[in-house]
Amino acid sequence: MFNPSRECPVCKRRFLQKKLGKLYPTQPLQKCSSEYNLVQCRTCELIYLSPLPEKETFDELYVDNIQFDRDDYTGEAAKLALSYCISRLKVILDTNAEYFGGNALKVLEVGAGLSWMSRAAKLLNKDCFTVAHDVTNECKKICNWVDSYVVGELGDKINVLGQNAQFHIISLTHVIEHLPFPCKTISLALPLLDDNGVLFITGPHRPKDWETSRSIERWKDWRYNHVPAHLQYFSKKSAERLSKMLNLKIEFFDNALEEGQSFELWLKKASQP
């Protein structure tokens, strides 16, 4: 059986994986492995890269390079992203009207980048209080709709962010795929979530028609294949496993977005015994 060097970041198991193929860096990096294995956990179905990139690789990706000047973040793509956030925020508000009422929301974006969810909240209600967090200050000056933009590692900034707790919505939009330790990062944010609040997560799921083809070549051609920036790809089963480990419950899950290429997940705190 294939023995990857990285344990499943959800199940924490190392010896129940199957190898799907080899992937190679999709952008030029000086401090980066020349190849990675794409593997799938046999327990929770999470697909992920192995080995885990070194810290120097993450620094080169997120600190030393400009990230948000690509077409994905500008022009029509930006309009679509903002429109999506507005529409989904409306649905969250409608679904949780008994808890949120007509009050102005408090929104925290983790790994915010251009802070589209915060901007959506302000467009729906200018009195919403929005806080953005990111490891780099690349977008801090751009996002003038954010009330507070906090820069640094999440664990180092929890006390600062906690001054504004509790948040009605904590958003990670296309962030979870970048996290070396997704369970740990989410667990850090959970104390900042209101007891009736929503943890809103989106991310890449699978290439179109992946389940029938299972071709590594299809994965290589996939627009969400960013090596080594994208570290893992959740399914409903791995989302269920994640929620169980963090004592959360799934309120909503949809992996049919973009013809199955991305997913949306809402998590809430589970009832205490």
Query: Do 117 and 200 touch, CB atoms closer than 8 A?
Result: yes
Per-residue model confidence as pLDDT tens digits over 46-100: 999 999 999 999 999 888 776 666 656 567 888 999 999 999 999 999 999 999 8
Q: What is the pLDDT of residue 65?
A: 72
List domains and CATH numbers for the chain.
Answer: 1-65+209-244 (no CATH), 70-204 (3.40.50.150)
Query: Do 117 and 132 touch, CB atoms closer than 8 A?
Result: no
Global pTM? Answer: 0.94
Sequence length of the chain is: 273
Secondary structure percentages of the chain, helix, strand, coil, to 5: 30, 25, 40
Per-residue model confidence as pLDDT tens digits over 91-126: 999 999 999 877 899 999 999 999 999 999 999 999
Q: How confident is the model at residue 259 (pLDDT cuts 50, 70, 90)?
A: very high
Per-residue model confidence as pLDDT tens digits over 205-216: 999 999 888 899
Q: What is the pLDDT of residue 251?
A: 97
pLDDT at residue 203 is higher than 60: yes
pLDDT at residue 273 is higher than 50: no
Q: What is the percentage of the chain residues whose pLDDT exceeds 90?
A: 80
Query: Do 128 and 145 touch, CB atoms closer than 8 A?
Result: no
Q: Which of 84, 268, 131 is nearest to 190 (CA)?
A: 268
